[in-house]
Chain A
Amino acid sequence: HPHPPPPLHSMWDLRSDTVTKPTRAMRDAMAAAEVGDDVFGDDVTVTKLELLMATVFGKHAAVFVPSGTMGNLVAVGVHCELRGSEYVCGDLSHIVQYEQGGLATLMGAHSRQLTTNADGTIDVDKIEAAIRADDQHFPATKVVCLENTHNKKGGKVLPIAYVDEVGALCKKHNLQLHVDGARIWNAAAKLNETPARLVRAADSVSVCLSKGLGAPVGSVIVGSHEFIRKCRRLRKACGGGMRQAGTLAAAALTAYEEIWGNGEIDADHVRALRLANALDALPGLSVQFPPVTNIFFLNINTEAHPYFTVPVVCELLKENNVLTIPWVGNSLRLVTHHDITDQAVSEIIEAFRTIPWYE
């Protein structure tokens, strides 16, 4: 189907933090980047990014990939490189919900999906119970996957003690721990901890650079040298071996300085809370729970105002330059990011205020 025209520059796009556009500094960095053929290992800017990200996350190596989906696909794909592997994860994880089942369809890995708690965790005792014994009826459990922050549960931050506990369990059972850290930056900012501390217990992490951090493209997988070597190889098979990718890496390096370095992620959290509080006070709307990071869900009181279904509300908001995403039930998901400024928050509140609720 033909693409609808892209939103105007003046639109406030709350659909996701993936919509962030590269800043002037990022664009300049991209234009000036020293590059080479990264498949030959000759792109010094990609190499610089990978070394930096490894260090930031306290791991030995990193590999740049075009997307978070490839980050999880390749990382967990490597953990499950042996045919007949199984990974344990949450039923509401992005891996299960939004990655087209790629780990099964492309990597042949089986998933064991456990109930996700409201806080984004999966019970430690249930993880332990899910670990397979050595029996011809069973696939071989290789890895446990956690998601931090948890997208579908509304940007929830996993407690460090919890991640450490799951890590200890994995070590005890000789399993790997992978963290889908698409929004790990948000978790670290919220806990006021270093990114490395959050993932200390993890063997691998997939980290998005194109969400809150604002780079135009890409993620990194971090882990041990040997693991990352395998990831690099599997990345090539998947078609993720890009050539002069330093053009993209340069933007990511700038994003790390400009967005992470200046506390912009914290600002996104403050704005999410301000926005949620203001919207919750308006008639016809209620916030499911106050945002912990940069995501929250807004219930539309369609019951009291039957005309105002989610699609109708979205359309009205669009006319007032605000874009949101319909979510589960009669709700919207709202996500803040650095392109949603303080001024934007005020205008967004006004846009919601103009909804002409009537019976």
Chain B
Amino acid sequence: PPLFRPPHRTMLDLRSDTVTRPTQKMRDAMARAEVGDDVFGDDPTVTRLEETMAKVFGKEAAVFVPSGTMGNLVAVGVHCEVRGSEYICGDLSHIVQYEQGGLATLMGAHPRQLTTNADGTIDVKAIENAIRADDQHFPRTTVVCLENTHNKKGGKVLPLAYVDEVGSLCKKHAIRLHVDGARIWNAAAKLKVAPARCVQAADSVSVCLSKGLGAPVGSVIVGDEAFIAKCRRLRKACGGGMRQAGTLAAAALAAYEEIWPNLAKDHETASDLARRIDALDHYDVRVAPETNIFFVDLNVAAFPELNAKDVVQALRESDIVAIPWVGDSIRVVTHHDIPETAAGEIEEGFRAAALSLTGGQ
């Protein structure tokens, strides 16, 4: 159900980094943006964003899309443009879990889902074994998809060496490597490397601008010129051909300038919060966050009254919004609208929520 912000307080929204609101700088950039009809290729601000993002990720070209879902749908859709294609991915990937199966239902591509490790990787050996031979019983493997950072595994960063290794494997078998880089910015910030280095081995990357980076809308797909030309075309078929989209691109360019340099702060905030919440009797944070995501388990052994749904409801009393997660846990995601200074308040909110349910001290 929709939330309505109370007039005099900003809610502490820990549901996702997608909730970030545009800053004043972004709003000003949107108002001033020079625009044109992007379907005609006439929007200089969209063009500037695309050129910038291509450079940042070390690829030849980029195309702006309205969402990360469209980023993956179109990129992998192009890799699987020939009917009868198969893509290899992790069973817990966002593509498999949260994109409505669009690659199958809309693009006719078959997913080969491999077991995801705790660190967000899928075994290189398993990938190699999954690559199809040329046989009439088999679809044709065209691409391997990795996710960095890995959402469902809690914002895990894929090691550079691992991504490079998968890239080599793909080259050896003449298939492509696509990285779902919805949170690639967090990976790069964590590893303290250039974003381009993280995806050096990839043929294509889908990069979100509306998550940690804070832009109001959109993602970009980056890749080589020919591939991006096909993406642009498939984007149109999907209904992603927007007109004066420079209004949105301007905000994204401003976000890159304003938010990207400080993204690592979100990781510090997450670490701090995780420590504080873990220290409370009612909660356990079993895995310390690598980036801006962690899961809070409930100490039901000591406090059987606790359940995620009720805790989340109780958190609302302290103007904190969170999401119940797998295994009756609570997912916490930090972003630039969660200031470091709010950590104490959030800790207090978690404490109060638990107490209201357990009726204890």
Contacts and interface: CB of A to CB of B under 8 A. Distances in A.
Whether chain B is bound by chain A comes out as yes
Interface of A: 1, 3-4, 6-7, 15-16, 18-22, 27-28, 30-32, 35-37, 39-42, 44, 47, 65-67, 69-71, 73-74, 99-102, 105-107, 210, 216-218, 233, 236-248, 251
Given A40-B3, A238-B106, A70 B22 contact: no
Given A21-B35, A66-B240, A247 B40 contact: no
Given A99-B237, A102-B238, A248-B247, A237 B105 contact: yes
Contacts of B237: 69, 99-102, 105-106
Contacts of A15: 37, 40
A217 B243 contact: yes
B3 A217 contact: no
A338 to B, nearest CB: 13
Given A21-B244, A239-B73, A241-B67, A37 B239 contact: no
Interface in B260-301: none
Given A15-B40, A105-B237, A248-B217, A239 B66 contact: yes
Interface stretch (B42-50, B194-202, B350-358): B42-50
B304 to A, nearest CB: 31
A9 B47 CA distance: 17
A102 B74 CA distance: 13
Contacts of B66: 66, 239-242
B194 to A, nearest CB: 25
26 contacts: A3-B41, A6-B36, A15-B40, A21-B36, A22-B247, A27-B31, A27-B247, A30-B27, A36-B3, A36-B5, A36-B21, A37-B15, A40-B19, A41-B2, A42-B19, A69-B241, A100-B237, A106-B107, A237-B100, A238-B240, A240-B66, A242-B66, A242-B210, A242-B218, A243-B216, A246-B216
A78 to B, nearest CB: 13
Interface string B1-17: 11111000000000110
Q: Chain A at the B interface: mostly helix, strand, loop or mixed? A: loop
Given A18-B39, A239-B102, A245-B216, 6 more contacts: A6-B36, A7-B42, A31-B30, A36-B3, A37-B16, A66-B242
B345 interface: no
A107 B43 CA distance: 30
B71 interface: yes
